[in-house]
Amino acid sequence: MHAWEQNLANFLHYIRLDHIKRKILVFSLLATLIPSLTMGGLYYVHAKRFLTEKVAQKLRDVTAQNERELDLWIKERLYDARVFANSYVVSENLEKIIRANTAPGTKATALRRLKDYLKSVGNKFVDYEALMVADADARTVATSADRSAPLRLPHDWRNRNNADTPIMGDAYWDPELNKMVMMLAVPIKAQNGGFLGLLAVKLNFHTIDEILGRSSIGNTGKSFLIAPDGTLIAGSRPNAPGRVIVKLPFNVPGPSETDAVLLEYPDDRGRAVIGVLRRMSQLEWGVVTQIGKNEIYAEIVQVRNLTLLISLGLLLAIGLAAYLLGLTIVRPLDRLTNGAARVASGDLEVSLPVVSHGEIGYLTKAFNNMVARLRLGQEELAAINGKLIEKNKELQVLSITDSLTGLFNRKYIMEILTNEVARSRRNKRPFAVMMIDTDQFKKYNDTYGHQAGDDLLKKIGKIFMQSIRNVDYAARYGGDEFIILLPEIGKEGAFEVADRIRGLVNAETPRGAADGVTVSVSIGIAAFPEHGDTPEAIIAAADGALYQSKRDGRNRVVLAGVERQPDIEVTK
């Protein structure tokens, strides 16, 4: 904070100008009493400049709006042409016509259908003078007009077609139609993507004339569209027939120039006008909007006397007084505004200096107090959020984990299996699924009790986790049945893992042979995509292999699709 600002605030407090109401009152008195007659001579220049800039901005806005609407018109015509070119009627019949081995009768039928289609489309749109279909060498094959005419395409139309850029020709005067037209073409492609030919559209500028007519400003204003050489393409006023050249003191801007060009120049009748030219983005044409200078400055004459009485001499004295008094109002408010913005963005380390002794000073104190309370509340909220995050992590683990064995639960492993099927199908990679059942678990429960059975399941779950990789998934499928998912492993690798698990279970689990209870596991294996390409199919295949293992005598590993596995020695 500057020392002068504090001194000024103390002085205003001393003369009792702390309150905003008093400051505004003093400012109004000063603004009324300070002479303003010296500004009379400067008004005309200022008003003229202001009005010129206002009209220039209006011209720029109108020109920009016209440019946007004309670009949109071009884009819509291109879109329509592409839609028509992609029609099955056009591509199919053109292919029949240009194909060498097509029967003459078939070619005639295809040509008739193509002409009928072009005529039906052309009759629905006022912007189309003719629609033509040409072959790959730009030779006209069919047209909606009564008489065929050569296509007027740019010399580099093949390069544009290969680059997939719009093929748009120059505007030209058509003596037969007695109007300005242009040619637009899009490629016609076969179903296999091959290039068949072109759909060309001869466009008139009737819609553009209407667009430009709606945008004219004032009584003398005009809007028109010109080519780079000055040829008049379309305008808001009726044009004389034939090729008209508009003489302007500037050229159409280049592709790198996007801002509108503003100049004063005489029109075709010698009247001084102000005009704006803007280049279209789609074509090299220029959009021009102009208005007569006499019409612009007529408003100054009407309002000059009235404004002189109101605005005399208010610039220097009142500006200085407003600046000094405004500092004491605006600067504290700016601090409050910036402080509020920082608080809104999450920064609560805000403390504003209290300069004024009036309402703003009290407001600043209240603001600082509010921020301090928010800071305290944020700290409390952060502590609560930290606890919530920890609880949410615990809930997330509980939602996917079997509470007894610590393995994944059935719901989560099915989600993982579904994702693994999609990933393996996309990457063309294998994976395997093992369905595991604890042999004689019910008898073990009946013999040693349910607590011992739970301990056995926990022990088996630990064996699974010790036997698989970090990228593998082991889950309790239900009861004493488990499932293991082995990504990126085929049936041979899965068989080795399963046999290792079976051996570890035999070696590390209780062996109650004296009671007639032998703990072991039966394992069924199914591989993707050999035994199924959907989660359901893979589960069913692995489950079927598991039942085959049970039927073969338990304590063995069975691969899906193999009816009988070789006997495996059981470790006692």
Catalytic residues: 480
∠ CA 209-294-43, rounded to 5°: 130
For residues 438 and 404, give the distance between their C-alpha atoms in angstroms, rounded to a whole number.
Answer: 15
**Beta strands at 517-518 and 520-528: parallel, antiparallel or unpaired:** unpaired
Q: Classify strands 431-439 and 232-235 as parallel, antiparallel or unpaired.
A: unpaired
Cα(479)–Cα(454) distance, integer angstroms: 10
- Tell me how far apart the alpha carbons of residues 215 and 277 are, in angstroms, rounded to a whole number: 14
Per the listing, tokens 């239900």 go with 478
Q: Which is nearest to 279 in space by CA: 228, 337, 315, 229?
A: 228
Q: Round to whole Å and give the CA distance between 432 and 11.
A: 87
Helix (H/G/I), strand (E/B), else coil: 234? strand
* Spatial contact of 521 and 507, defined as CB atoms under 8 Å apart: no
Q: Is 384 strand, coil or helix?
A: helix
94 and 197 Cβ atoms separated by less than 8 Å: yes
- Listing DSSP states for 502-541 in one string gives HHHHHHHS-EEGGGTEE-EEEEEEEEETTT-SSHHHHHHH
The one-letter amino acid code at 207 reads T
Contact 252, 261 (CB under 8 A): no
Q: Where are the alpha helices (DSSP H) in 139-262?
A: 157-162, 206-214
Compute CA distances 161 → 70, 153, 254, 396, 565, whole Å: 23, 11, 23, 56, 65
Query: What residues have CB less than 8 Å from 493, skipping those under 6 apart?
Result: 432, 486
Contact 492, 472 (CB under 8 A): no
Q: Are strands 272-279 and 261-266 parallel, antiparallel or unpaired?
A: antiparallel
Residue 490: left (phi > 0), alpha (psi -120 to 50), or beta? beta
Residues 207 and 126: their CA atoms lie apart, in Å, by 8
How far apart (Å, rounded) are the C-alpha atoms in residues 85 and 134?
Answer: 11
Contact 70, 208 (CB under 8 A): yes
Structure token digits, residue 547: 């039942």
